[in-house]
Amino acid sequence: MVGICAAVERVSWGVWDAYEVALAPRSYVGALQRAEALALVLPPDEAAVADPDLLLDRIDGLLLAGGADIDPGSYGAEPHPETRGTWPERDRFELALTKRALERDLPVLGICRGMQLINVALGGTLEQHLPDRTGSQIHRPIIGGFGTHRVGLAPGSLAQSAVGFDGPLVKSHHHQGIGELGRGLVASGWSVGDDVVEAIELPGGRFALGVVWHPEEDPESSVIAALADAARAQAAAQVSMTSERSGR
């Protein structure tokens, strides 16, 4: 079972306007189901902020979905004028789960905001508005739509293994990026043309990967399936360990 951290948003819902909901885009759920994994949506919960194992004990992998900008206070920065729509309660929840999941070596995949969150969880920082440096809008050409561009991946990296080949054409919608890398993380993917970091990973563990593009929007992508495979291996290892203990 793979847990998907839910976004908190204000939506129009039937006759209700500005209704607050905890939700996960169906594309993430569908990608996990195509990979024959069970998906469990995880809404922000202060009890799990205090004790992340309350939830992590019940899942075999963690998917950190895209969504709103991360509160710059999470990494000790002042907000940029283009940093908007933050939800600090979501940040607290996801940072707590991510830190503990990485400590436990639970498989973790971060997508877009989720990649950035992995970096912040390990003490890294974010570049709050990439166009200030790159002068380009290729990563978010229009609001409410995806741009496409190519990504180069480090040979032999987890990112390349998850994608299955180098140079994928990816769907992108983000305006923030990696600043200072967090503890132990390495960059393993870069956009072709402006060298913005597109993938990060934590070597030596079971599966800890972040990609800033949106593989859930590509039915041919194998990135989320790679997380599902790692979660199944985690579940099998846990069953084996439990059986060994009960047989003593």
CA distances from 9 to 6, 63, 87, 236 (A): 10, 18, 9, 36
Active-site choice (198, 201, 216, 217): 216
Of 139, 149, 173, 214, which residue is the catalytic one? 214
CB 223 within 8 A of CB 29: no
Active-site residue, selected from the candidate residues 94, 112, 139, 175: 112
DSSP E strand stretches across 85-234: 108-111, 126-127, 147-153, 169-172, 177-178, 186-191, 197-201, 208-211
Q: Which two tokens stand for residue 135?
A: 């002068």
DSSP secondary structure code for residue 205 in this structure:
S
Note if 173 is an active site residue: no
Q: Is 5 a catalytic residue?
A: no
Q: Is there a catalytic annotation at residue 174?
A: no
User: Within 13 A of 220's CA, how many CA atoms are on the CB side?
Assistant: 6
The answer to whether residues 5 and 97 touch, using CB atoms and an 8 Å cutoff, is yes
Annotated catalytic residues are 112, 214, 216
